[in-house]
């Protein structure tokens, strides 16, 4: 067995790519450098049909990484503002986004911390989160897995709908609600526990379930007694990642660009 | 002769206290900033501002105390994700808000444009958007076999829409030359009156409508007045004429750090004529040379 060294960012990129594995021909939107490179990695390896954009208003033949570009990409279609809504309302999109707060139901917040009329901290506003959440699959990325992000009660302002029966008049979420994976600096989770309970499906190398639970404001389920380790990126994947991100923006996401395998540190 | 030309100040004279003003553009793209600066300088007050896709327009009007109520989906400077003057005002509880999803805002404009009282949508279900204290969202049940319960998104009908485009003739035949027309057409159709600033007013023949017709934003009958305002979107972009001015946006962001910094910014860039503003930001030559941003 060959030991390949990889960074935490590269481990996370490979885990992000996995969210699009079985999606077929959908619009893949990765918000932020690691989800965006992840979408590119998926497209250049196991999910060639997904459509990715230049971050502005065109679909491109090849994925476009973050930062400066050596050449203009080949455009293959329009993804202007109007068309983004048309695509997302059809359900043919899977977004990987980074909320500020998240709760046990998968309800996500990017609007305010504190009271909505007079917030402690005003952030972006709900943006397209409400519509995204009930129209197409969504996955999530959190660079810092802690109790401020994974809150104990409900998030302060629910921008993205989740699996909270109390929020629905008939107790049932709409059919379009499809929350997939949560990737953090510690682990990968999904909603596969009983009644959509958030569940740890893999731990990054050197991380324990207890460490994840201690940093989460609500009880987590686990996939098995022996939780699998998040797969390390292969040499081929690392080479594709380097090709998509020649500016090495990925090295700037986590402080001091730590190794992906904490046991090696 | 049929002529809708006005000045920026003529347009602001059409506005009055308490009005609902819809602003076009998107965050850092094609914001009618010359008009926003003129409103910021004016005595107007108690405005309801509808800016679904907000940026410096919201921030400047918030910092100058013009907003009584804000209808929006986000406020961002894109490369600088958080709009600092919006944040300061919002955290001080300076105005009432109705926060919407981007798609709901789009849908509200579409209802307004279609002269319908509402359009049904699933958007908002399961979220706090439909639980806001400032607005009582209603539901409708599909009259067909599915019987689905949907949110009734009310029409958004501004008293006035303000947009920025690239070219116009004196009759108000507009061209928006950028790659993305955004939702300016719907905003204009939804509003009771609409005014546009443009980079340049030219004779109709120069619009070359035969070649450019797909960039013709809306029927001229929807446009009540048009004002020439070169660099009228600055520091947001009017691509392909010029790109956003990241350096100026940084200066603007830093002006939110203290009352002194804001007073300095305001004295230099707001409380001046547009000619002086243009000179202060380097003139047309510097602005048209700005690099294409990377998203």
What would the DSSP string read from start to end of B93-141?
T-SEEEE--HHHHHHHHHHHHTT-SEEEESTTTTSGGGG-TT---EEEE
Model pLDDT for residues B171-209, shown as the tens digit of each residue: 999 999 999 999 999 999 999 999 999 999 999 999 999
Residue contact B127–A81, C-beta within 8 A: no
Model pLDDT for residues A214-244, shown as the tens digit of each residue: 999 999 999 999 999 999 999 999 999 999 9
Measured distance CA(B287)–CA(B271) in Å, rounded: 20
Closest residue, chain A, to B98 (C-alpha): A117
Mean pLDDT of chain A, nearest integer: 96
* Cis-peptide into B235, omega within 30 deg: yes
- B162 vs chain A: nearest CA distance in angstroms? 19
Residue contact B81–A129, C-beta within 8 A: no
Closest residue, chain B, to A133 (C-alpha): B123
Measured distance CA(B235)–CA(B225) in Å, rounded: 23
Residue contact B126–A161, C-beta within 8 A: yes
Q: Point out the residue among B73, B124, B149 whose CB comes nearest to the CB of A169.
A: B149
Q: What is the pLDDT of residue B118?
A: 98
Contacts of B295 in chain A (CB under 8 A): 54-56
Residue contact A162–B125, C-beta within 8 A: no
Please give the ipTM for the structure prediction. 0.96
- B102 vs chain A: nearest CA distance in angstroms? 5
A253 pLDDT more than 60:
yes
Q: What is the pLDDT of residue B159?
A: 98
Q: How many residues does chain A have?
A: 265
Model pLDDT for residues B16-47, shown as the tens digit of each residue: 999 999 999 999 999 999 999 999 999 999 99
Q: Point out the residue among B82, B123, B134 whose CB comes nearest to the CB of A124.
A: B82
**Cα radius of gyration rounded to whole Å, chain A:** 18
Model pLDDT for residues B238-286, shown as the tens digit of each residue: 999 999 999 999 999 999 999 999 999 999 999 999 999 999 999 999 9
| Chain B interface, best mutation among A115, A131, A153, by max B CB count within 10 A | A131
Give the pTM. 0.97
Residue contact B91–A68, C-beta within 8 A: no
Cα A89-A92-A97 angle, rounded to 5 deg: 85
- Residue B264 contacts residue B44 (beta carbons within 8 Å): no
- A74 vs chain B: nearest CA distance in angstroms? 16
Confidence of residue A170 (pLDDT cuts 50, 70, 90): confident
- Residue A260 contacts residue A207 (beta carbons within 8 Å): no
- B51 vs chain A: nearest CA distance in angstroms? 12
- Residue B152 contacts residue B167 (beta carbons within 8 Å): no
Mean pLDDT (whole number) for A167-184: 94
Residue contact A128–B102, C-beta within 8 A: yes
| Chain A interface, best mutation among B76, B128, B244, by max A CB count within 10 A | B128
């Amino acid at each position: 067995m060959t030991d390949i060294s990889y960074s935490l960012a590269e481990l996370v990129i490979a885990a992000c790519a996995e969210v699009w594995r079985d999606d077929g021909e959908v619009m893949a939107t990765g918000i932020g450098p690691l989800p965006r490179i992840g979408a590119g990695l998926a497209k250049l390896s196991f999910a060639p049909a997904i459509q990715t954009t230049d971050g502005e208003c065109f679909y491109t033949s090849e994925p476009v990484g973050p930062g400066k570009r050596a050449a203009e990409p080949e455009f293959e279609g329009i993804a202007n503002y109007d068309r983004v809504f048309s695509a997302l309302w059809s359900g043919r999109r899977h977004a990987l986004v980074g909320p500020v707060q998240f709760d046990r139901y998968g309800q996500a917040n990017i609007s305010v911390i504190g009271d909505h009329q007079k917030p402690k901290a005003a952030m972006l506003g709900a943006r397209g989160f409400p519509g995204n959440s009930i129209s197409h699959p969504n996955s999530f990325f959190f660079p810092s897995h802690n109790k401020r992000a994974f809150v104990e009660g409900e998030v302060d302002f629910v921008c993205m709908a989740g699996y909270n029966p109390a929020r629905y008049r008939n107790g049932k979420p709409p059919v379009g609600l499809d929350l997939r994976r949560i990737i953090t600096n510690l682990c990968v989770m999904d909603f596969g526990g009983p009644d959509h309970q958030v569940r740890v499906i893999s731990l990054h190398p050197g991380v324990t379930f207890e460490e994840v639970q201690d940093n989460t404001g609500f009880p987590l389920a686990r996939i098995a007694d022996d939780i699998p380790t998040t797969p390390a990126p292969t040499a081929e994947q690392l080479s594709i990642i380097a090709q998509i991100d020649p500016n090495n923006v990925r090295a700037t996401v986590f402080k001091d660009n730590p190794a992906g395998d904490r046991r090696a540190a | 002769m049929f002529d809708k030309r006005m000045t920026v100040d003529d347009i602001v004279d059409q506005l009055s206290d308490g009005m609902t003003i819809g602003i076009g553009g998107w965050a850092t793209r094609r914001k009618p900033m010359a008009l926003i600066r003129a409103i910021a300088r004016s005595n107007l007050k108690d405005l309801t501002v509808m800016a679904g896709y907000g940026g410096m327009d919201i921030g400047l009007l918030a910092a100058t105390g013009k907003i009584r109520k804000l209808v929006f989906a986000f406020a961002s400077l894109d490369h600088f994700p958080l709009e600092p003057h919006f944040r300061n005002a919002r955290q001080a509880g300076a105005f009432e808000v109705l926060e919407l999803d981007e798609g709901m805002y789009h849908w509200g404009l579409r209802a307004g444009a279609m002269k319908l009282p509402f359009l049904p949508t699933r958007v908002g279900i399961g979220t706090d958007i439909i639980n806001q204290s400032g607005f009582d969202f209603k539901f409708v049940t599909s009259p067909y076999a599915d019987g689905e319960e949907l949110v009734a998104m009310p029409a958004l009908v501004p008293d006035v829409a303000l947009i920025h485009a690239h070219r116009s003739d004196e009759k108000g035949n507009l061209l928006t030359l950028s790659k993305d027309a955004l939702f300016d057409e719907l905003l204009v159709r939804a509003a009771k009156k609409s005014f546009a600033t443009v980079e340049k007013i030219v004779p109709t023949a120069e619009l070359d409508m035969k070649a450019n017709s797909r960039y013709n934003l809306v029927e001229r009958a929807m446009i009540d007045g048009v004002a020439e305002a070169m660099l009228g979107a600055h520091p947001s972009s009017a691509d392909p004429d010029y790109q956003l001015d990241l350096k100026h946006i940084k200066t603007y962001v830093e002006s939110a750090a203290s009352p002194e910094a804001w007073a300095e910014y305001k004295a230099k860039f707001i409380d001046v004529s547009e000619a002086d503003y243009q000179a202060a930001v380097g003139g047309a030559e510097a602005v048209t040379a700005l690099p294409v941003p990377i998203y």
